[in-house]
A = this chain, B = another copy of it.
Amino acid sequence: MTLILGEEQRMLQDSAADFFASRLPLAANRALRDLGLTHDTQAWHEMDELGWSGIALPEELGGLAFPLSGIALIQAQAGRTLAATPLLSSNILCAGTLALCASDAQQRDWLPGLASGKLRAALALDEGPRHDPVRITLAAHRVGDNWLLDGAKAMVMDGTLADTLLVAATLDGETALFILPADSAGITRTPLALIDSRDAARFAFEQVAVAADGLLARGNAAEQVLATVLNRARICLAAEMQAISRVLFDTTLDYLKQRQQYGVLLGSFQALQHRMARLFTELELAESCVAAALSALDGDGDLALLAALAKGKTGEVALKIANEAVQLHGGIGVTDELDIGLYLKRIRVAEAQCGDHIFQRTRYAHLIQLAEAL
């Protein structure tokens, strides 16, 4: 396992940084929010043209031969300017699932569209307030050649813009994964306005018919694939949160170095210095976890363990840094004018998505056989 970036990774990181700085800088994303928009469709097409939607997908189906860590690197750079991308939903969660368990025919049906960005997919999984991939109640049953889906999904990220849905259901007591057009008959979609202004929707499924070839996997296979893509998503979210933490830390550090109070620099107050120094050590610990998880994303390391470690640690640290950033900025810290609030809100969403740091800690406990000890 290597914990520093390779040459190719650095190049992708730099070009992603350039892209977001010039094409979707923070001001542009703030403007989108003020217009009530969740993303910039044209900019997404440009990302597609860069080949990002096809990262780590089969080349013969339009994919790009770049390892998965590429998406985490892009997501981190997007995090710095708070840009939304289609990559987590469409590539990591949905195309990733197809690549792992779909039949050749299914892959041919869906992957070219997803890899090129012609299709946008979203994963419909969570039903309750907290992420819980093992408690699925949306039910599937066989009727003739078709499947019928009944139930609801409370929070589907990118659910409003998605034309394709990947749905986790329960089928004869097992987990099953289906793929279907998002406008299938019987689906009611309700857009959600989130604190981070990103796209999300709530779904109701009433007797939704899915063709026979809409079933991607069931039972153990489905659970394992779901676990894998969720772990990958966790690492991408960790990379994003870590990038945001770094922006918030640096911004706050700069502020403390410039701002005067009672005639002295804020940053010269020892109580604040110690808080910043502690945050610095936390930030660096989290950075190492992300670095290791990036390796695991590319197959070098224990994916499940490092995903739990990275998302758990970055989530905890990001919340802490965001809270301190607001507090140390004082009054202006709570104004919408400052960017800190935007980062804070995004962190809250990323922290909740795919399991918050408490969830990840229980995962980690399980993986190191602490739960067995009980």
Binding site for B on A (CB under 8 A): 269-271, 273-274
A-B CB contact pairs (8 Å), 6 listed = A269-B270, A270-B270, A270-B271, A271-B271, A271-B273, A271-B274
Q: How many copies does the complex hold?
A: 2
Q: Which residues of B contact A269 (CB under 8 A)?
A: 270
Q: Which residues of B contact A274 (CB under 8 A)?
A: 271
Question: How far apart are A124's CB and chain B's nearest CB, in angstroms?
Answer: 27
DSSP class of A's interface residues: helix, strand, loop or mixed?
helix
| Assembled-state Cα–Cα distance A270/B273 (Å) | 10
Q: Which residues of B contact A271 (CB under 8 A)?
A: 270-271, 273-274
For A277, the closest partner residue in chain B by CB is B271
| Assembled-state Cα–Cα distance A157/B271 (Å) | 43
| Assembled-state Cα–Cα distance A111/B257 (Å) | 70
Q: Which residues of B contact A270 (CB under 8 A)?
A: 269-271
Question: How far apart are A132's CB and chain B's nearest CB, in angstroms?
Answer: 14
| Assembled-state Cα–Cα distance A270/B270 (Å) | 5
Q: Which residues of B contact A273 (CB under 8 A)?
A: 271
Residue of A269, A273, A274 with highest tally of chain B CB at under 10 A:
A274
| Assembled-state Cα–Cα distance A269/B269 (Å) | 9
Which 4 A/B pairs are nearest by Cβ-Cβ distance?
Answer: A271-B274, A270-B270, A270-B271, A271-B271
Question: How far apart are A263's CB and chain B's nearest CB, in angstroms?
Answer: 15
Question: How far apart are A339's CB and chain B's nearest CB, in angstroms?
Answer: 28
Question: How far apart are A373's CB and chain B's nearest CB, in angstroms?
Answer: 13
Question: How far apart are A96's CB and chain B's nearest CB, in angstroms?
Answer: 34
Question: How far apart are A277's CB and chain B's nearest CB, in angstroms?
Answer: 9
| Assembled-state Cα–Cα distance A271/B273 (Å) | 8
| Assembled-state Cα–Cα distance A269/B272 (Å) | 11
For A268, the closest partner residue in chain B by CB is B270
For A274, the closest partner residue in chain B by CB is B271
For A269, the closest partner residue in chain B by CB is B270
| Assembled-state Cα–Cα distance A269/B274 (Å) | 11
For A273, the closest partner residue in chain B by CB is B271
| Assembled-state Cα–Cα distance A270/B274 (Å) | 10
| Assembled-state Cα–Cα distance A271/B272 (Å) | 7
